[in-house]
Chains A and B, each alone.
Chain A
Amino acid sequence: MVPEKKNFSHNDLDTLRSRVIVERDRVTSTASTDFPHNYPGQDLAWDFEKFKESFKLKINKLSKTEMEFDMIGIDAAVANAFRRILIAEVPTMAVSNVFIMNNTSIVVDEVLAHRLGLVPILADPTKFDFKGKEETPTDLNTIVFKLQVTCRRNPNAAEGETDPLKKYIHANVYSGDMKWSPQGDQAERFKECPIKPVFDDIVVTKLRPGQEVDIEIHCEKGLGQDHAKWSPVATASYRLMPEILINGEITGEAAVRFQKCFPEGVVDVVKENGVKKAVVVNPRKDTVSREVLRHAEFENKVKLTRVRDHFIFSIESVGAIEPQDLFVQAVKVLMDKTGTVKRSLQSTLQAE
């Protein structure tokens, strides 16, 4: 006697080829197999025209700091390359050298310098060059800020005032206290958008009367690979589009229970001929928690999968570069990499 299968099978070729199968205790069929010679009679070799036809890019949300868009028809290797480049290889400007003339605040020098390094700087990195370790700072590769704050007692504060922000002047040193000191022709070049920290309200350190900070700050161009302070994104991530297929129908009170297994808005309970029925309306909102597979009554009635070539990309920019520019720059970085490798390979092989 053949034992009854726990889950109904995902053996059909189309599912295995195009979907990542999500089961109760594992995820299978994750690798892409769309390569030549894998499927008889099908030519899956790279065809630029076919790719252009099947590739879809749809932007869903855009703001000054966040962007969500869909890419359909691309492979995970390339989508991941874009994600990695967004995090680590798009250049930005960040505080690199901190010259401390005087620091009597409660925060010790190196910790203060570390905190300053993490302050995002609103400057267009394409207008600057990288500065090598041994190079001298010039107006083309360095941005200079001055942070000079002294804390004094506030003569206008009420008697018995306890709030330090009211009792003292400059009790908190904010990133907004960093004053840009334009070098060379920077004042001309950045007349329209003066250089400043992205956020004015980051607390860098705290002072009490008599304490002061007197610091000169140099910012340089760098990559997230080197240090996370140069990463232009809070994060960049993607997820695959979920898919929920119901085997047969789920009706009555079971439909309501089924709806509760998913986040709000994923499954709708509609009344058809007086009978309640569960209908999947928005699988995009599903977080694929697999809650439904934990219930024995639904285990064999639902198939949870993810569409292998549909990427829901989310880019959260720190603020220095807008997310739409960020994505274009990231794709250009990948394109430049291929160009560099190609030229180097040509010269290596020609030398032989």
Chain B
Amino acid sequence: MSTIVSRMDEDQIEVDTGKVSVVPGTMIEPQCATFCLQDEDHTLGNALRWALMKNSEVDFASYSIPHPSEARTNVRIQTSDNTTAADAMYKGLDDLADLCDHVIQAFQVELAKGEFEYEEEENAF
């Protein structure tokens, strides 16, 4: 299924890649849901869980890997009435992205400063 979505950065056409789906029956109200992420593991799962827990509107956040042979991660979110599970998910992902962006900037600032031990290898490539 394709939906035309207008976004600032990307093409106008949006295609559903099947990366994220809602586990059927878990979204009985907008405040709680279990999202299933395809081809993800602890790398994103744990980091996302931490970002979600940092949200004061989130009552419950956890991730699980239903079976180690399948690359699939379930993320369960339950929020207070002030927001929805989807919004909490967006916030968690945005916060993680902000964190990554800042880490890159801080790293490049440090690199430019050059206040470290730089070794020249004898057999440099």
Contact = CB atoms under 8 A, between A and B. Distances in A.
Interface of A: 32, 35-37, 43-46, 48, 51-52, 55-66, 69, 71, 74-75, 77-78, 80-81, 84-85, 88-89, 122, 198, 319, 324, 327-328, 331-332, 334-335, 337-352
A237 B27 CA distance: 39
Given A35-B53, A61-B117, A89 B43 contact: yes
B51 interface: yes
Nearest to B117: A61
Given A337-B44, A346-B5, A331 B100 contact: yes
B89 A345 contact: yes
B54 A36 contact: yes
Contacts of B22: 348-349, 352
B62 to A, nearest CB: 12
Given A84-B43, A89-B43, A347 B5 contact: yes
Nearest to A339: B97
A301 to B, nearest CB: 35
Nearest to A47: B54
B14 interface: yes
Nearest to B98: A48
Nearest to A196: B125
20 contacts: A52-B102, A57-B103, A61-B117, A62-B119, A63-B120, A65-B121, A69-B107, A75-B50, A80-B43, A80-B47, A335-B96, A335-B97, A337-B40, A338-B48, A343-B14, A346-B14, A347-B3, A348-B20, A348-B22, A351-B3
Contacts of A344: 16-20
In this complex, which of A61, A64, A69, A74 has the most chain B Cβ atoms within 10 angstroms of its Cβ? Answer: A64
Nearest to B59: A37
Contact of A81 (B19, B43, B90, B94): B43
A328 B111 CA distance: 11
B110 A58 contact: yes
A339 B90 CA distance: 10
Interface residues of B, number: 58
A51 B121 contact: no
In this complex, which of A44, A59, A339, A341 has the most chain B Cβ atoms within 10 angstroms of its Cβ? Answer: A341
B64 interface: no
B49 interface: yes
B104 interface: yes
Interface string B106-125: 11101100011111110011
A63 B117 CA distance: 8
A45 B40 contact: no
Contacts of A64: 120-121, 124-125
Contacts of B86: 345, 349
Given A338-B94, A339-B97, 8 more contacts: A52-B102, A61-B116, A69-B110, A71-B103, A332-B100, A335-B97, A342-B90, A342-B93
In this complex, which of B18, B21, B119 has the most chain A Cβ atoms within 10 angstroms of its Cβ? Answer: B119
A85 B20 CA distance: 20
Contacts of B94: 338, 342
Contacts of B124: 64
